[in-house]
Chain A
């Protein structure tokens, strides 16, 4: 699965995107955020307040309860500030 990061989530993690193989038991967006957070200091720094992280699966906004099954690309980013 491809993970994409934007704005300060990207800066804190240190890469714009990466391919990951999800371990068993990571079924939802919330599970993914929890798992990523444990992957190192940079992830911990980016995801220290997971509740504010916005998530898109295959370029559609989703809630943290959304299942990951079938997702090709999951994007993590801060609340949007365009316009």
Chain B
């Protein structure tokens, strides 16, 4: 059957198949003319180069999420957004110092490493510096993949490494106007990173 003599029912089936193809249990029936997903996936992954941003500007989480949505072949998009807490009303802001140049480079390396370890279709990482008010976003990570497992794991991996390897330091600004201390690194963050060396 050629593409020109499709019935409305065929067209509807094609659309439904295309949509279904984006979820976990991909259908085996596909519109003619499209390569099977398995063929498109074989060989080295056509991974989109990770996009990394380090900026003082707000991160538009909705726009970033939409930018990674709709990628054909991606059945899963996992996003993580990290926010500034007010620590039960104690904080007026967090101030993030960073090492310009190295910060972008380290996050880039972490994202590349994730793209090597998992079959990702797209990777996005954004980290802010400067003064950040409670409720504002600090960090955003998104990974898309054919299936959700890789996307979940890769996003988690990137966050764990970003916490311990990306050169950023948090300092508290308190509600009473004073500048509090530097946030201490947590052993739990080191442990979270370390587990990836053992799997």
Contact = CB atoms under 8 A, between A and B. Distances in A.
A75 B166 CA distance: 13
A82 B101 contact: no
Contacts of A6: 97, 99, 167, 169
A67 interface: no
A7 B179 CA distance: 13
Contacts of B184: 79, 81
A77 B182 CA distance: 12
B162 A77 contact: no
A82 B105 contact: no
Given A59-B101, A59-B102, A7 B171 contact: yes
Interface residues of A, number: 15
Contact of A83 (B99, B101, B162, B171): B162
Interface in A1-44: 4, 6-8
Interface residues of B, number: 28
Interface in B128-182: 138-139, 159, 162-171, 182
A56 to B, nearest CB: 6
B124 interface: no
Contacts of B138: 82-83
A80 B168 CA distance: 6
B183 interface: yes
Contacts of B183: 81
B185 A78 contact: yes
Contact of A81 (B82, B101, B182): B182
B77 interface: no
B185 A59 contact: no
Contacts of B85: none
Listed from nearest, the 6 A-B pairs whose CB atoms lie closest are: A82-B168, A79-B185, A7-B169, A83-B163, A59-B102, A81-B183
6 contacts: A7-B169, A7-B171, A56-B167, A82-B98, A83-B166, A83-B168
Interface of A: 4, 6-8, 56, 59, 61, 75, 77-83
